[in-house]
Amino acid sequence: MINAMQANFDLKEHSHTRFNVLTGDWILVSPHRTKRPWQGKVEELPEDNRPAYDPSCYLCPGNKRADGSINPNYADSFVFTNDFASLLPDAPDGDINIDGLIKAKSARGTCRVISFSPDHSVTLPLLSVKEIKKVIDLWCEEIQNISADPSIRYIQIFENKGEIMGCSNPHPHGQIWAQNSVPLEIFKETIQQGKYFKEKGNSLLSDYVQLELKQKERLVLENEHFVALVPFWAVWPYETMIISKRQVQSLPQLTNEERLSFGDMLKKLTAKYDNLFHISFPYSAGIHQAPVNDGEHPGWHLHMHFYPPLLRSATVKKFMVGYEMLANPQRDITAESAAEKLRSLSGIHYKEAK
Ligand SMILES: [Zn+2]
Ligand SMILES: [Zn+2]
């Protein structure tokens, strides 16, 4: 049921705040600001022509890593423990609390690195669906292995792509960080999804996907088992989410067919991103799933977030400064117009379209 209070209030015209139903946060949307004149630069970047093998890359097959070990001559994907891990398995137990004012707890876990391909020159959208499926299978295997340690509470799979995101190596790869506590974003989403499930008996994201499939305004892609959309509450200009149509709590619960379908969705969505400004599109992306070794989470619904920083060209990015640091995030172009733009782009990568 739509609860529209004022006839004059238009989400496309008037500034408003939007509620992020997944986290409980709010964001300020100012659609009228896109009408102000833009004086920034618009430029094309030179074509990225990386070799398939880079002798100085610590992820390429056969190369030496920081700890002195040699990468195997792997054929598909390859996973290892980060030589500079932020979380270590042997951190001592500790819990400090001084008058409730100074609090700290020891953090223990592991950080793994996954190379998506032996080929230094490719990226996710340039892999075949079958190759992406092998990465998904490896993610599942890692989740199962890591969660066998009963002290682990959460496993975060993510990819940080592009120099603009501080990614130091262009070799296609992602990371897995696992830890003995539930991190902030997951903590918030667990509360919101749990509350919704208790009230409605359905997963929040199942109902949300149904609503988006009806409204169609923010849809980007749909296949048999997944949808990709710009969430109503998106903060980053071209932020998207991939959500499974069937509610599962974690990645390993996906069937073989669903994993292929997820691979297809990943390939098409990241191809659209590259097609937007004709560059290898930078982003931070990650899979959100239920905490592990933490009891039942019947409301949790597997999804993936893409947070890309670019705003209107290959080099003009959105900054999270000023009001956003001090109050809450803000955006100018609406989620609906970003979705319309992404929808209009081909799901076939411009390099594969020739
Ligand atoms: Zn490499
Ligand atoms: Zn999430």
- Mean pLDDT (10-residue bins), the chain, 354 residues: 71 94 96 65 67 95 94 95 90 94 95 97 97 98 97 97 88 97 98 98 98 98 98 97 98 98 98 94 97 96 97 87 93 94 96 87
In the prediction, which pLDDT does 49 show? 81
Residues 6+ apart with CB under 8 A from 39: none
- Nearest ligand to the C-alpha atom of residue 122: 1
In the prediction, which pLDDT does 168 show? 80
Return the residue matching tokens 């379209």: 353
Q: Put residue 24 in one of left, alpha, beta given phi > 0 → left and psi -120 to 50 → alpha.
A: left
Distance between CA atoms of residues 319 and 213, nearest Å: 31
In the prediction, which pLDDT does 37 show? 55
Return the residue matching tokens 């833009």: 38
Pairing of strands 226-229, 219-222: antiparallel
Digit-coded pLDDT (tens) for 84-131 = 889 999 889 999 999 999 999 999 999 999 999 999 999 999 999 999
Per the CB < 8 A criterion, the answer to whether 242 and 303 are in contact is yes
Q: Which residues surround ligand 2, an ion (CB under 5 A)?
A: 189, 288
- Written as six digits, the tokens of 296 are 């039942």
Per the CB < 8 A criterion, the answer to whether 229 and 241 are in contact is yes
- How many angstroms is it from 268 CA to the middle of ligand 2? 20
Of the candidates 120, 171, 173, 301, the residue annotated as catalytic is 173
Respond yes or no: is residue 173 known to be catalytic.
yes
Pairing of strands 102-105, 109-115: unpaired
CA 205 from chain centre, in angstroms, equals: 16
In the prediction, which pLDDT does 54 show? 96
- Nearest ligand to the C-alpha atom of residue 233: 2
Distance between CA atoms of residues 162 and 132, nearest Å: 19
Which residues are registered as beta bridge partners of 222? 227
- Nearest ligand to the C-alpha atom of residue 241: 2
Distance between CA atoms of residues 209 and 231, nearest Å: 10
CA 246 from chain centre, in angstroms, equals: 19
- How many angstroms is it from 287 CA to the middle of ligand 2? 7
- Written as six digits, the tokens of 119 are 């080929």
In the prediction, which pLDDT does 3 show? 62
Residues 6+ apart with CB under 8 A from 285: 158, 159, 161, 304, 305, 306, 307
- How many angstroms is it from 251 CA to the middle of ligand 2? 13
- How many angstroms is it from 43 CA to the middle of ligand 2? 33
Distance between CA atoms of residues 261 and 244, nearest Å: 10
- How many angstroms is it from 23 CA to the middle of ligand 2? 8
> What is the rounded average pLDDT for all residues in the chain?
93
In the prediction, which pLDDT does 167 show? 85
Nearest CA among 135, 140, 178, 137 for reference residue 156: 178
- How many angstroms is it from 59 CA to the middle of ligand 1? 5
- How many angstroms is it from 316 CA to the middle of ligand 2? 26
3 state DSSP class of 51: coil
Digit-coded pLDDT (tens) for 273-320 = 999 999 999 999 999 999 999 999 999 999 999 999 998 888 888 988
- Nearest ligand to the C-alpha atom of residue 290: 2
